Amino acid sequence: MLEDKNKPGSDQTGAEKEGRRDIPPLNSSGRSDSFGYSAYTSPAERDYSPFSPQSLFSSPPVPENKEPPKKRKVGIARFITIGIVAFALVVVSILVTNLFTHYDFELSSGNGVIKFSLIPREHKGSSPSAPITTEPAQTDTMPTPNTTPSGEAPLNVEWDGTVLNIGGYYSSGGALSYNQIYKKCAPSVVSVYSELVGGNSSGTGIIISESGYIITNQHVISGAKNITITLESGKKHLAAIVGEDDQTDIAVLKINAQGLTAAEFADSQNVEVGDPVVVIGNPLNQTLTMTNGIISAVNRNVSFNGITMTLMQTNAALNSGNSGGPLINIYGQVIGITNMKMTSSYSSVEGIGFAIPVSTVKPVADEILRNGYVSGRPSLGVRVADISVSASIYYRLPSGVYVNSVYSVSDAYKKGIQYGDIICSINDIPIPSVYEYNSVLNKFKVGETVKLAVYRGGTYLNVDVILMDKAKLN
């Protein structure tokens, strides 16, 4: 009689009697859906349960014929590497920050070679674009307490017919010793103290008349609110500005005094290389000082802020505060007004100073004495400033000069030029800096019309502006 092998009550199932075991179907992970074990499950794995108490304190069993995974060892070398990388990132960020804060970038090309330069950023005034440049013989910025005489009011100047008198390049008494030169010329040299918006500055001046007219450099008194003159005797006077001309760096002042010792001037056209000279001035705010040297060169074309001047070169020492002082020949005659020295931010430059020849000074001084200004200087009627390369990159600005202010009497104001504009070119000539701006502008005459390319808020505008006389802006 045949028995049903799978009926209830049977001692063995059919699978057991046939020596096999039913295996639940496998899922995608190789485990059965009924929490059983697959055909590939080893005995060690079958004896391990993830829910057993011992599993909390031990790792899963290692399958047969399988090596246990290697533990990743975190050593001190890794921490050192991470520290070095972090330190390097901090250093790089500091360097990049300082780079944009203290330096400007400059791209220049010449002879087919493109050069990339880092230019140290200047904090006050000029921003040189070459290793060696010229700068004014400077005004001294040391404090000058008690320089203003009490009870003296500023002057209302009325011209008394004074002009700059020039004599011959000789002396009937012959050459003088250095001691004799100082005694003759020192009474005609004054110290000039200017009260500025942000502090004080000082320079030197030369008395040109007994009635109190004094000549000095324009950059010595530029922007001054009050000017005090100290005579060699120590007496102080408030000074009024008669007029100034930044193109020749000449200014004329007036003090309320009589009986002063006027300097003797000589024609500088007779100066030759090798002539001995001395300089008397007020360097470093240390009262009058005299230095000596020779004429190193004549008719030197020197550019500063886009203005080219023809100057005399000397190796007599010039320091901060000498600006506006006399360059004197061996006969005790003034042949020039010191105003510049050669400087370098990369190496030491000594013995290269410059002075404005008296032949240049006279016509400018005479016009200032007569009219209070020098006519015929072309101007757009705006004040401009350089744009640093770092600012140009950060704000994505084009190459040009930044408009700081606009004179309301100018044609530029009437044509809509405004603060914040960037002037990129004049008559299609690029002007990437104030230097080029002045150089290009000085090629035109008062009354001419020029075409400006102006950048404003992402848009380029073309504006035609009539040049006016700079002297009439104020």
The residue written with tokens 């808020």 in the block is: 457
CA 196 → CA 10, 28, 143, 193, 227, distances in Å?
118, 87, 11, 10, 9
Would you state the structure tokens that stand for residue 90, as one six-digit string?
Answer: 């901090």
Segment (H or E) for 440: helix 434-441
Rounded to an integer, what distance in angstroms lies between the CA atom of residue 378 and that of residue 467?
6
Report H helices in 10-71.
Answer: 14-17, 43-46
The closest alpha carbon to 469, from 405, 401, 410, 423, belongs to 410
Residue-wise DSSP of 281-304: E-GGGSS-EEEEEEEEEEEEEEEE
Which residues are part of the catalytic machinery? Answer: 219, 249, 323
Rounded to an integer, what distance in angstroms lies between the CA atom of residue 384 and that of residue 26?
83
Q: Considering only the C-alpha atoms of the chain, give the largest distance between any 2 of them, rounded to a whole number of Å.
A: 165
Would you state the structure tokens that stand for residue 84, as one six-digit string?
Answer: 């070095």
Would you state the structure tokens that stand for residue 385, as one six-digit string?
Answer: 């400033």
CA 368 → CA 371, 374, 387, distances in Å?
5, 6, 33
Buried b or exposed e, range 438-470, using 16+ CB within 10 angstroms? bbbbeebebeeebebbbbeeeeeeebebbbbbb
Exposed / middle / buried, residue 203 (Cβ in 10 Å: 0-12, 13-18, 19+):
buried
- Which residue type is seen at 411? D
Backbone phi, psi, residue 342, to 5°: -85, 135
Would you state the structure tokens that stand for residue 206, as one six-digit string?
Answer: 């030369």
Exposed / middle / buried, residue 195 (Cβ in 10 Å: 0-12, 13-18, 19+):
middle
159 Cα distance to chain centroid:
40
H helices, E strands: number in the chain: 9, 25
Rg (CA), the chain: 42
